[in-house]
Amino acid sequence: MENRDVDDPRVALAAERTLLAWVRTALAMMGFGFVVARFGLFLRELAEASPTPRQSFGMSLWIGTGLVILGAVVALLAAIKHIRFLTQLERGIPYRPSRWSLGVIVTFVLSAIGAFMAIYLLLMRE
């Protein structure tokens, strides 16, 4: 970045928009995790009302809790990354994106969770 980028408010505002996008992503992950965790409770209630044998739905609690924790970690990492970017901007240090950005890491983790959930659902079918 050039020194004029420090004085350009569009750069800081773009960083702010990026932070807010990560906050929305983290909130969505936490909300989805809550729904997944509560869905297991809903399935457990349905199973008790049914005359068929009971199945275990405990994995949804762990998957949901994991997604809530992952959302909180993503929000924290996004805030740290935002603060570091603004500090570098003020010092005039050029921005160099890393190969393993927060987006790439979150994508891999969510893909792994999705694959695990798909396998779990296939194994739990009747």
Domain ranges of the chain: 4-124
Calculate ∠ Cα 80-86-87, nearest 5°.
90
**Contact in structure between 15 and 64 (CB atoms under 8 Å):** no
Higher pLDDT, 21 or 56: 21
Q: What is the CA radius of gyration of the chain?
A: 20
Residue 40 has which token pair?
């297991």
Residues above pLDDT 70, as percent of the chain: 79
Give yes or no for residue 43 having a pLDDT over 70.
no
Q: For 92-116, how does the pLDDT look when each residue is reduced to its tens digit (9 = 90+)?
A: 888 888 888 899 999 999 999 889 8
Distance CA 81, CA 79 (A): 5
**CA-closest candidate to residue 74, choices 39, 116, 36, 24:** 24
For residues 34 and 66, give the distance between their C-alpha atoms in angstroms, rounded to a whole number: 10
What value does the mean pLDDT take over residues 50-75?
A: 81
Predicted pLDDT at 62 = 87
Chain-wide mean pLDDT for the chain?
84
Residue 67's nearest CA partner among 16, 97, 13, 25 is 25
Single pTM value for the model: 0.76
Q: Which amino acid is at 36?
A: V
**C-alpha span between 75 and 17 (Å, rounded):** 14
